[in-house]
Structure 1
């Protein structure tokens, strides 16, 4: 009985490694004999697919960290402003002169327009990265710029080629001024996170989450719970199939007294992005929602919960 087992585990045996293979065979025979004398496993009770998975008397829960990424670049740090200003000046000093005579006829409207645009672009670029806007000196070409003639606007050739002025939108939206926490059009420089409110007094605010049913993985459970609690009016994409965080907590004593088989919950957080749409709460499991930054979340969720999830959140 032993020989076929050794030949099955070890297809080829030579003189040099015979002892090694024999020792491995002994270990494997011992391990198989241990399992052969164990009692057969008892059949588990039948469960429906909608029942929640229980692991070590803890309910398995899948949470969703739904984010709206930053929509615009953040404001540069003062050190970054000065660094970019320094690089801008170096580029202007070392850049070769532009051959104006080659591209423009001297004294033409196109030449005047190009010079004005060049000076204006330089002022705009320097004003972004320096707080000394009034002290910025223009280059030598600005001294030769003449005032715009009154008849330029009457010239059809100039008006036909004149580009439309680009208007830069404000970095602060109306929803920022109104502090509308239900809008995705706010805090454009920051990452927003969806938190929902359950109809209870304590630990009411949290990420959307729910129990993992049988024959269901974490991503499927997260997507199902998000649709049940927040509706199906959002375009959501899950970043991966592995959780980005873990949180384990015990239930209150009065709850454990009613069901001694469950001590608490183990929550595995899955990360996802929202591209379009908005939350539509069911007013049953969820009664309210908010899109908040990492710092704003401290005002809603309990301190133990925030300490457990803060390392999963972005500072920007």
Structure 2
């Protein structure tokens, strides 16, 4: 009974020796490797975007298709049980009868739709103020221009920043030793003390894994995707960026090409949904 604790202590002591030896070997090998050669720089870049605010405006072909499908569905569907959904003689029932007859006349013609229902005088409905789909974009564009988050409400817009050398690009930061890509972006870019000023911006990373990679010499840049929910970047005086802009995919391409970054756009255009002609040819 007395030898069990002693054998346990011996096992623990023996088990701790390899751990210390492994840690010493790791520290010595890491120090020797860092002293001989420095690893190539690893950069984490953020593809920050605002999703579309409105559904896209349908094309004439889409409008014709949906109208045809709705007409077929209306012709094959069973009649609406009016007694179940409406009170007899009520105003909603009379408005429904008028609207249904008008729709049937447009689809089948006046001969098949029959005579108009006798519902008497119907008071007009409450008038609502309507706005154009780009109303808020035009309103905010006058005040903030490209920094407006309401630009292109039917498209996805992306955040580009301008560095002190007047060159546009994506927000990026260098990844430290034993630091994850998502940690570098969360702390150094969109964090409270990040380059984009996270105090006035509510955003989140879609995934911790990169969605693209660009290799320039020995430097490797990994792109992480993020969405902005509210607010805007607040660039401080100590930030390496002077201003920012919310641009569509076409504007991002034009801006990168005009400043001579055609290689960068060719490498990342797949992240914007633009296929590579060489890949399609294969």
Q: Same fold (TM over 0.5)?
A: yes
Matched position secondary structure for 1:85: helix
Structure 1 gap ranges (5+) = 1-39, 48-52, 124-134, 154-161, 251-263
CA contact (8 A) 1:115 1:142 kept: no
What is the TM-score when the length of structure 1 is the normalising length? 0.62
What are the superposed Cα offsets for residues 91-111 of structure 1, whole Å, 9 maximum, x if unpaired? 1211222344675546x6454
Structure 2 gap ranges (5+) = 1-27, 275-282
Equivalent of 2:230, from 269, 276, 291?
Answer: 276
1:231 aligns with 2:197: yes
Q: Which structure is higher in RCO with an 8 Å CA cutoff and minimum separation 6?
A: 1
Larger radius of gyration: 1
CA contact (8 A) 1:173 1:185 kept: no
Matched position secondary structure for 1:66: strand
Q: Distance in 1 between matches of 2:222 and 2:127?
A: 50
In structure 2, do the counterparts of structure 1 residues 119 and 206 end up closer, same or farther at CA, with 3 Å as the change threshold? Answer: farther
Equivalent of 1:308, from 267, 270, 279?
Answer: 267
In structure 2, do the counterparts of structure 1 residues 267 and 109 end up closer, same or farther at CA, with 3 Å as the change threshold? Answer: closer
Q: Distance in 2 between matches of 1:293 and 1:279?
A: 17
Equivalent of 2:133, from 171, 174, 183?
Answer: 171
In structure 2, do the counterparts of structure 1 residues 42 and 311 end up closer, same or farther at CA, with 3 Å as the change threshold? Answer: closer
Q: Which residue number corresponds to residue 178 of structure 2?
A: 215
Q: Distance in 2 between matches of 1:142 and 1:68?
A: 50
Q: Distance in 2 between matches of 1:60 and 1:54?
A: 12
In structure 2, do the counterparts of structure 1 residues 118 and 136 end up closer, same or farther at CA, with 3 Å as the change threshold? Answer: closer
Within 5 Å, give how 1:32-111 maps onto structure 2.
41=29, 43-44=31-32, 55=39, 58-100=40-82, 103-105=86-88, 109-111=91-93
Q: Could you say what the CA RMSD is over the residues aligned between the two structures, in angstroms? A: 3.3
CA contact (8 A) 1:119 1:138 kept: no
Q: Distance in 2 between matches of 1:212 and 1:249?
A: 16
Q: CA deviation at 1:144?
A: 1.6
CA contact (8 A) 2:212 2:268 kept: yes
In structure 2, do the counterparts of structure 1 residues 142 and 292 end up closer, same or farther at CA, with 3 Å as the change threshold? Answer: farther
In structure 2, do the counterparts of structure 1 residues 210 and 119 end up closer, same or farther at CA, with 3 Å as the change threshold? Answer: farther
Q: How many residues align?
A: 231
Q: Which residue number corresponds to residue 260 of structure 1?
A: none
What are the superposed Cα offsets for residues 157-187 of structure 1, whole Å, 9 maximum, x if unpaired? xxxxx97566654321342474732111121
What is the TM-score when the length of structure 2 is the normalising length? 0.69
Within 5 Å, give how 1:140-289 maps onto structure 2.
143-146=115-118, 149=121, 169-176=131-138, 178=141, 180-201=145-166, 204-227=167-190, 228-232=194-198, 233-250=200-217, 264-283=218-237, 284-289=239-244
Q: Which residue number corresponds to residue 3 of structure 1?
A: none
What are the superposed Cα offsets for residues 114-149 of structure 1, whole Å, 9 maximum, x if unpaired? 2234457x49xxxxxxxxxxx766676673245853
